[in-house]
Chain A
Amino acid sequence: MRRNGLAALLFSTLFVVFMIAPLVVVIGVSFTSTGYLEFPPSEPGLRWFRAILTNPDFIDAALLSLELGVTSATIATVLAVPAALAIGREKFPGRDVLQSLFLSPLMVPTVVLGVGFLRFLTLISMNGTLIGLALCHAVVIFPFILRLSLAAIVGLDQSVEKAAVSLGASSLTVFRRITLPLIMPGVCGGWILAFITSFDELTVSIFIINPSTTTLPVKLFNHITQTTDPLVTSVSTAMILFTVCIMLFVNWLYGLDRLLIGEGSR
């Protein structure tokens, strides 16, 4: 069934090309054997992928980003699930305000957030620490987990919880045995999305890192400001591959369209 007109098809095609083209170029360039950026590569090879292994800086930065992503996504999840329960279930004055506040990191420009975080961390003498970085990332990725947890909670039939109560379960037991297992796919989806966001977060991080806490995106950014060798493209290709793998996993676990569009629109 074709419902789209020619113009719409053309637009969609251009849009997809525009999205995909940079990725194709980056991935293409990463397979060159020359010392400069070249597309398409005249002599394909894995030279720059081997170069990653001989650059411990990049590997350290990647490990740090990994650790940061896991820590900040976990912190944000632990905070977002109770918040989502309150917002999704209870009616109290200021509920909408609270929800907007929690989602506001999506709307505030990240540069502004970065400056704010820098000032704040300096004030409490946590500038440049990993935990400070993790807390800032937690703020930035909080909305992702909140939204997905909220969708899962709102989609949950409340009489299921009432049934558990009527059978003698305490509130804590209801949460542990009924609510949490049932919203788990949404919460996990949120965690992974948040992890990915933290993993390639650049703008905020630039403001608040120091040389000992350089994340992978910042490292790449610094590298490209100094040299233009194809090393950045091979690192990028590795990152793209990593992200795609996670996305495939999420899709298998939960369904990507449900995750990104939201439960209600299905």
Chain B
Amino acid sequence: MALLELKNLTKRFGDVLAVSDFTLSVEQGEFVSLLGPSGCGKTTTLQMIAGFETPTSGAIILNGRNLEDVPARKRGLGIVFQSYALFPHMTVEQNVGFGLEMRGVAPAERAGRVRKVLELVHLDGLANRYPRAMSGGQRQRVAVARALVIEPDLLLLDEPLSNLDAKLREEMQLELRRIQQEAGVTTVLVTHDQSEAMALSDRIAVMQAGELMQVGSPFEIYERPRSSFVSTFLGKTNTLAARLEQVTPEGSLLVCNGVTLKGPPANFLPGPVEVSLRPERVELTDADNAVVSGTVSERVFLGNQWLSKVNTPIGELLMTRRNRGSDEPKPGDTVHLAWSAEHLSILAADRSRLT
């Protein structure tokens, strides 16, 4: 049985449908991210799990118990807020010990547990500091420690890394993953940052306009997006409008701007579709093996890779190539491009045609 089950969760604010019929199960020990642009309902979903918002309909079931009549303070969840929400007038030790104090844990045991969790987040020795005397990354760790010390069934992270600078954020991603795995706590993360979701999660639930678009492992979602929204929200991609002509168990044939392309087997009926092609799957080849040929229009050097734009008969294609220290085609050069058929993802032009 899943640890957390969200069943047909719906939240309406007046006329606005913030979350619509959201169903998701989270297994014990799993790290699941709710990923989506701002206003997609991911934070509202988290607030409902936490007990700060009441669902309009649907159920939240934790450990087999319906949380409907359980107030926020009795849910026993660990929450890390975007602003960290540390108590500014308390030391690190008092901040972290607060949840234990509320549970009536004796001071001696409290001190021991606080020390242990501060070791887990690598903050030992800073117990007597005040939050204002700490860096953003350190405050972040205090917030995580404060949520973990009560040994919650479920840890909720609300955009926990968005206030950190880019370099620190990458470090903290690895740290968060390590802490989560060492503590073995089931975690739900809310984020709009796809790289954060991919780096941390076992599974990602992509949301748009209050609806769940797709759930799966980061690899699955990146490789097999089921809609153009998911394919463009996770990483860069080329989205092409095409017509599906023929479907066989071995593969499919697509026509895009008069060019015939081979595609993977598809679950669609022939008709208009969208096709997604990741820029890193586009390769340079010679004229004989080319799927399309075109002219380089722009080229950007990104250090570890080159990003080029190529004008082709099927449209403008983005191409990324690893920097191997050799020269790359320059703007104006004619290039021949190829990719294997299975690297095209065929997407429903609209959701109703999903099978």
Contacts and interface: CB of A to CB of B under 8 A. Distances in A.
Interface string B71-98: 0111111110111011111000000001
A165 B85 contact: no
Given A159-B82, A167-B98, A168-B150, A178 B87 contact: yes
Interface in B38-90: 50-52, 72-79, 81-83, 85-89
Interface in A156-198: 157, 159-160, 162-170, 173, 177-178, 181-182
A166 B87 contact: no
A169 B81 contact: no
B189 to A, nearest CB: 16
B86 to A, nearest CB: 7
Given A157-B83, A159-B81, A167 B88 contact: no
B162 to A, nearest CB: 13
A204 to B, nearest CB: 37
Contact of B88 (A165, A173, A177, A182): A182
A176 B344 CA distance: 60
A175 to B, nearest CB: 13
A164 B99 CA distance: 8
B133 interface: no
Contacts of A170: 73
Given A157-B85, A159-B83, A182-B89, A166 B50 contact: yes
A178 B147 CA distance: 17
Interface residues of B, number: 26
A59 to B, nearest CB: 40
Contact of B150 (A162, A167, A181): A167
B324 interface: no
Contacts of B82: 159
A231 to B, nearest CB: 47
Interface string A133-169: 0000000000000000000000001011011111111
Contacts of A164: 87, 98
B11 interface: no
A163 B87 CA distance: 9
Contacts of A166: 50-51, 72-73, 75, 77-79, 147
B102 interface: yes
B99 A168 contact: yes
Contacts of B203: none
B167 interface: no
A163 B85 contact: yes
Given A168-B73, A168-B74, A168-B76, A159 B85 contact: yes
Contact of A169 (B51, B79, B102): B102
B146 interface: yes
Contacts of A157: 83, 85
Interface of A: 157, 159-160, 162-170, 173, 177-178, 181-182
Interface of B: 50-52, 72-79, 81-83, 85-89, 98-99, 102-103, 146-147, 150
CB-based closest 5 A-B pairs: A167-B99, A168-B102, A159-B85, A163-B85, A159-B81
25 contacts: A159-B81, A159-B82, A160-B87, A163-B79, A163-B81, A163-B86, A163-B87, A164-B98, A166-B77, A166-B78, A167-B98, A167-B102, A167-B150, A168-B74, A168-B76, A168-B99, A168-B102, A168-B103, A169-B73, A173-B102, A177-B98, A178-B87, A181-B89, A182-B88, A182-B89
